Structure 1
Amino acid sequence: MQENEPWQDPGLPEDARLTSLDKRLRQAQAQEAARTGTTDPASNRGRSQGMRILSDLIGIPLGSALIGWLIDGWAGTRPWVMLAMMFLGFGIAIRNVLWISRQPPK
Structure 2
Amino acid sequence: MVEDSPGQDGKPSSDARFDSLEKRVAEAQRKEAIRLGQKPPADANEQLGNRVLATLIGGLLGGTLIGWALDRLLGTWPMFFIALMVLGTASGFWSIIKMSNANAKKDR
- Which category of TM-score, normalised to the shorter sequence, fits these structures? 0.5 to 0.7
Q: Deviations over 1:53-106 (max 9, x none)?
A: 00111111111110110000011000110100000001100100101111237x
- Structure 1 unmatched runs, 5+: 1-23, 33-41
The runs of at least 4 consecutive aligned structure 1 residues that moved more than 3 Å come to none
Q: Which has the higher helix share?
A: 2
Q: Distance in 2 between matches of 1:77 and 1:88?
A: 17
Once the two structures are superposed, the pairs formed by residues 40-51 of structure 1 within 5 Å of their partners are 44-51=43-50
Equivalent in the alignment of 1:60? 59
In structure 2, distance between residues paired with 1:53 and 1:100 = 8
**Identity, % of aligned pairs?**
31
Task: Write the distance in 2 (CA, Å) between the matches of 1:44 and 1:91.
Answer: 28
Specify the code of the residue in structure 2 equivalent to 1:103: A
- For the aligned residue pairs, the C-alpha RMSD in angstroms reads 2.3
C-alpha distance 43-58 of structure 1, shift in aligned 2 (>3 A)? closer
The 5 A counterparts of 1:28-43 are none
Structure 2 gaps of 5+ residues are 1-17, 27-40
- Greater CA radius of gyration, 1 or 2? 2
Aligned length: 67
- TM-score, length basis structure 2: 0.55
1:19-30 aligned at under 5 Å gives the runs none
Comparing both chains, which one has the higher relative contact order based on Cα–Cα distances under 8 Å and sequence gaps of 6 or more?
A: 1
